[in-house]
Chains A and B, each alone.
Chain A
Amino acid sequence: MPDQLLAELREALGTKSVSFGGAAQLLYSRDSSVFPGGQPGPVCFPETTEQVVACVQAAVNHNRSFVPRGAGTGLAGGAIPCDDPVMIVTTRMNKILEVDKQKQFAWVEPGVINLDLSRYLLGTGLHFAPDPSSQQSCTIGGNVANNSGGPHCLAYGVTSAHILAVEVVLPDASVAVFGDPEGPAGGYDLRGAFVGGEGTLGVATRVAVRLTPDPPAVRTMLLDYQDVGTAADTVSAIIGAGIVPAAIEMMDQKVIEVVEKFIKVGYPQDAAAVLIVEVDGLIDGVEHEVERITEIALACGTRTVRVAADEEERARIWKGRKNAFGAIAQVKPGYYLHDTVIPRTKLTEVINKVYETAERYDLLVMNVFHAGDGNLHPLLIFDPQEEGIMDRVLAAGEEIVQTSLDAGGVLSGEHGIGLEKRRFMDRLFSENDLDAQAKLRHTFDPDERANPHKVLPGGSSCAEINHMDKPPEGTWV
């Protein structure tokens, strides 16, 4: 560790805003993927754009890489440090700078927590639409980096559709603003290219988010099924009928069982699957859609349709979904989760293959996912102490990925590629396709200084990540 780099960073940020060694080194070595972690260099907590510039400039001066990081809730290893980087943690940049209700946008700093922004906006009649499951702790900067999703992205679109402009400190320490908070900017859509860059294109230091008017009416429905296939057919039938609900979420029997044990929310315990369907908008349209969805669902073979009578019942239906992952942890301590997206008309076929795969490898599998847009989250549940279990889990996981790709799907709907899925990228893209993606990366970062060894496969010289291409024993991702 060259003292000069540390001294330069402490000079720019103040001693208390740069940590090195000790607890910080351990804490910032990993993210929520529970990969074993890398080796961070100095961990910086800038509070202004100028301080972020200083961090990046110091990395440039000392020919070091840097890794931008929000709350570290990513599930694909995207914030894990490689090549002893300067860590740029944006959690202290947590101010909501401006809310323009008339023009329906807000400028926020990247460390603002997603749910804090929603709470701040309560009563304004506006909200920020992306609602990832980690919204209680994930940051807007992280949402931008991962182009995050969430249940309500079915009707409202993923994060990119809600980012109007972004101020970025580029990997050469220069600053640029991409996009325009007030409308479509002319010129190349560098804003669109930056969103979803997983921290490899620079550090977002201010973000202009689109604010969406709150819907005047919302109805939440719980549909239950005697088999998963009928639930999947219902999803296709609703969309095929020209209705795009705000959200359609599916949970299978095993998830229902553990959720009901964990928190009693009233899901039918003998159901093979339930769907949560939410519609919103103006009241007459909403009532019309509830009626149409009920008709479609019953015609498809849905056992019962329950429409939440009030806000309390609606909250209870969602509480089960939002706490599903916590509930699953009570069954076995480890889980391995994929995030593939498939054409929604292939849901039945692919889910059946997921069950077959799990059975063949003698593993427990649970499904809780965004059915409306075909974004699967199959969880392989296991006890990492069981001998030889990881080989089976990894082999089954890889087979599930391949099943999704064979069905015409893609690797990730909302978690990103990070370290975890780099090795699968060439199954979806040719060498030329990947070269084109590298051109986008090199447009922003010709030296590959920002968050190296992420997203694109190959070229790894980072010793600590070679074993990270596969999750090690006892981890869940």
Chain B
Amino acid sequence: MGMNALEEFRQSVGPHGPVAVVGGRTRWHLGGSIDPQARLITAPQGIEALDPSEMTVSLGAGTPLDMLDKALAEHGQEVALAGPPGATVGGALAVGHDSLRRRRIGSARDVLLQANYVDAQGELIKAGGPTVKNVTGYDLCRLLVGSLGTLGFFGSVILRTRPRPEITMWLSGPTKPECFLTEIYRPATILWDGKQTAVCLEGYQEDVEKQAQKLHALGLETSSDLCPMVLPPHRQRLNGGPLKNGTVADVGSSVLYGPQPAEAPETTPGVQRVVDRLRHQFDPEGRLNPGRNPQRMST
């Protein structure tokens, strides 16, 4: 993937008419469905550069997330992005959902270091920079993550990588999370379905084993290196109170997974005014991913 692929991508977006970028279609209806009039295009694929000693990877936004993960695993690295099988890097950034392991590996909103994206005028724009630390100018990268492609289409990106943990261990049992929250240090994940808890520990083997012993004493049992709970497909904001049957809470992130799609919380008038100006500034004709609106995502 080089400049040619990026230039071809720029031309495919063009300056006129409704257009939508397709990733893995794994979360295609999140925040609304694409206007059927929109032309469908895809972003460039391929890993350009991977450098563990810089903790960065440079790649086409159309690259499948699992392809990236496999390439990074060979160097003992990973990125703090997540998505269903088949999801692309660009899609995961556009949706902006954190990995279940956020407590340990950080937020999806802190992953994007540089974006080369095509704007609504059909111009190629660079946002951010290639270094792991950078406050040069306004933070367009964080604005683009979670914007569902409505402000610009990712062509290529530079992401922050991090070392993979030495081991991962899941434990589960009927113990309520508040019984052990202060007992263990920075677990990767805590899930609670109203009856059962699942905890993910990560890190160096001896540390993880010692933490696991504390949890064993509190009634949790080691299950495997994979999540023992099946997560329902739809995310919503966790709002306290007892959990309904069939839902799972991601403790510490206020995300609840449920069997049915949930309404997004209402946007306050103050925020809506800024959102309206944002849309007007970046895409006054509403041609990029028409029909999708991040304000309609429930979390």
Using CB atoms and an 8 Å cutoff, list the residues of chain A in contact with chain B: 102-104, 125, 146-147, 149, 153, 157-158, 160-161, 170, 174-178, 180, 182-190, 192-193, 195-197, 213, 215-216, 236-237, 239-240, 242-244, 281-285, 288, 341-345, 370, 373-375, 408-417, 421, 425, 428-430, 432-434, 436-437, 439-444, 446, 455-456
A284: contacting residue among B97, B126, B130, B210, CB under 8 A: B210
Q: How far is the CA of A428 from the CA of B137 in the complex (A)?
A: 10
Q: How far is the CA of A157 from the CA of B113 in the complex (A)?
A: 12
Contacts of B273 in A (CB 8 A): 174, 176
Q: Which of B192-244 contact A (CB under 8 A)?
A: 203-204, 206-207, 210-211, 237-238
Which one of B19-27, B32-40, B290-298 is at the A interface?
Answer: B290-298
Contacts of A285 in B (CB 8 A): 203-204, 206-207
Indicate whether A432 sits within 8 Å of B123 (C-beta atoms), given known contacts A196-B139, A373-B131.
yes
21 inter-chain pairs at a CB distance below 8 angstroms, sorted by A residue, are A146-B135, A176-B274, A183-B255, A184-B97, A184-B98, A188-B294, A188-B295, A193-B142, A242-B163, A244-B163, A283-B207, A343-B54, A410-B130, A412-B135, A413-B133, A429-B126, A436-B119, A436-B152, A439-B281, A441-B138, A442-B281
Indicate whether A433 sits within 8 Å of B138 (C-beta atoms), given known contacts A177-B271, A284-B207, A345-B51.
no
3 tightest A-B contacts by CB? A183-B254, A192-B142, A176-B270
The answer to whether B53 and A190 have CB atoms under 8 Å apart is no
Identify the closest chain A residue to B31 (Cβ): A186
Query: Most chain-A CB neighbours within 10 Å: which of B164, B267, B275, B278?
Result: B278
The answer to whether B297 and A187 have CB atoms under 8 Å apart is yes
Q: Does B268 contact A (CB under 8 A)?
A: yes
- A301 shortest CB reach to chain B, Å: 17
Q: How far is the CA of A239 from the CA of B254 in the complex (A)?
A: 33
- B49 shortest CB reach to chain A, Å: 11
Contacts of A102 in B (CB 8 A): 178, 181
> Contact flags (1/0) for B281-293 with A, using CB distance below 8 Å?
1100000000000
The answer to whether B255 and A374 have CB atoms under 8 Å apart is no
A430: contacting residue among B98, B126, B297, CB under 8 A: B126
The answer to whether A341 and B281 have CB atoms under 8 Å apart is no
Indicate whether A192 sits within 8 Å of B145 (C-beta atoms), given known contacts A160-B110, A242-B76, A433-B127.
yes
The answer to whether A189 and B132 have CB atoms under 8 Å apart is no
The answer to whether A374 and B132 have CB atoms under 8 Å apart is yes
Contacts of B296 in A (CB 8 A): 186
Q: Does B186 contact A (CB under 8 A)?
A: yes
A-B pair count, CB < 8 Å, reads 241
Q: Which of B93-147 contact A (CB under 8 A)?
A: 96-98, 106-107, 109-110, 119, 123-127, 129-140, 142-143, 145-147
Contacts of A446 in B (CB 8 A): 277
Q: How far is the CA of A197 from the CA of B134 in the complex (A)?
A: 13
A373: contacting residue among B129, B133, B139, B253, CB under 8 A: B133
- A296 shortest CB reach to chain B, Å: 12
- A129 shortest CB reach to chain B, Å: 12
The answer to whether A242 and B77 have CB atoms under 8 Å apart is yes
Q: How far is the CA of A178 from the CA of B194 in the complex (A)?
A: 31
Contacts of B162 in A (CB 8 A): 244
Contacts of A415 in B (CB 8 A): 135
Identify the closest chain B residue to A439 (Cβ): B281
Contacts of A342 in B (CB 8 A): 131
Known: A160-B110, A440-B281. 16 other contacts (CB 8 A): A180-B254, A183-B255, A186-B298, A188-B294, A189-B142, A195-B139, A281-B186, A282-B207, A288-B204, A344-B53, A374-B132, A411-B136, A425-B137, A436-B125, A436-B127, A437-B127
- B231 shortest CB reach to chain A, Å: 16
Q: How far is the CA of A456 from the CA of B140 in the complex (A)?
A: 14
The answer to whether A170 and B138 have CB atoms under 8 Å apart is no
A242: contacting residue among B52, B138, B178, B295, CB under 8 A: B52
The answer to whether B299 and A455 have CB atoms under 8 Å apart is no
The answer to whether B138 and A193 have CB atoms under 8 Å apart is yes
Identify the closest chain A residue to B255 (Cβ): A183
Identify the closest chain B residue to A434 (Cβ): B137
Identify the closest chain B residue to A196 (Cβ): B139
> Contact flags (1/0) for B168-202 with A, using CB distance below 8 Å?
00000000001001100110000000000000000
Identify the closest chain A residue to B128 (Cβ): A410
The answer to whether B143 and A192 have CB atoms under 8 Å apart is yes
Q: How far is the CA of A147 from the CA of B299 in the complex (A)?
A: 24
- A404 shortest CB reach to chain B, Å: 10
Q: How far is the CA of A440 from the CA of B237 in the complex (A)?
A: 27
Query: Most chain-B CB neighbours within 10 Å: which of A175, A183, A196, A412?
Result: A183
Q: Does B55 contact A (CB under 8 A)?
A: yes
Indicate whether A343 sits within 8 Å of B131 (C-beta atoms), given known contacts A281-B207, A282-B211.
yes
Q: How far is the CA of A428 from the CA of B265 in the complex (A)?
A: 39
Q: Does B264 contact A (CB under 8 A)?
A: yes
Identify the closest chain B residue to A156 (Cβ): B106
Q: Does B2 contact A (CB under 8 A)?
A: no
The answer to whether B270 and A428 have CB atoms under 8 Å apart is no
The answer to whether B133 and A153 have CB atoms under 8 Å apart is yes
Q: Does B261 contact A (CB under 8 A)?
A: no
Q: How far is the CA of A103 from the CA of B254 in the complex (A)?
A: 9
The answer to whether B274 and A196 have CB atoms under 8 Å apart is no
Contacts of A183 in B (CB 8 A): 237-238, 252-255, 299
- A403 shortest CB reach to chain B, Å: 14
Q: How far is the CA of A216 from the CA of B211 in the complex (A)?
A: 12
Contacts of A175 in B (CB 8 A): 270
Q: How far is the CA of A345 from the CA of B55 in the complex (A)?
A: 11
Contacts of A149 in B (CB 8 A): 133, 135
- A100 shortest CB reach to chain B, Å: 12
The answer to whether A186 and B297 have CB atoms under 8 Å apart is yes
Q: How far is the CA of A408 from the CA of B163 in the complex (A)?
A: 23
Q: How far is the CA of A189 from the CA of B133 in the complex (A)?
A: 19
Contacts of B132 in A (CB 8 A): 341, 344, 373-374
The answer to whether A282 and B134 have CB atoms under 8 Å apart is no
- A175 shortest CB reach to chain B, Å: 6
- B198 shortest CB reach to chain A, Å: 18
Identify the closest chain B residue to A216 (Cβ): B185
Contacts of A373 in B (CB 8 A): 131-133
Contacts of A244 in B (CB 8 A): 55, 162-163
- A67 shortest CB reach to chain B, Å: 18
Contacts of B138 in A (CB 8 A): 193, 196-197, 437, 440-441, 455
- A275 shortest CB reach to chain B, Å: 16
Indicate whether A158 sits within 8 Å of B135 (C-beta atoms), given known contacts A242-B77, A284-B204.
yes
The answer to whether B270 and A177 have CB atoms under 8 Å apart is yes
Contacts of A282 in B (CB 8 A): 185, 203-204, 207, 210-211
Query: Most chain-B CB neighbours within 10 Å: which of A195, A374, A428, A436?
Result: A436
Identify the closest chain B residue to A201 (Cβ): B138
Q: How far is the CA of A285 from the CA of B166 in the complex (A)?
A: 10
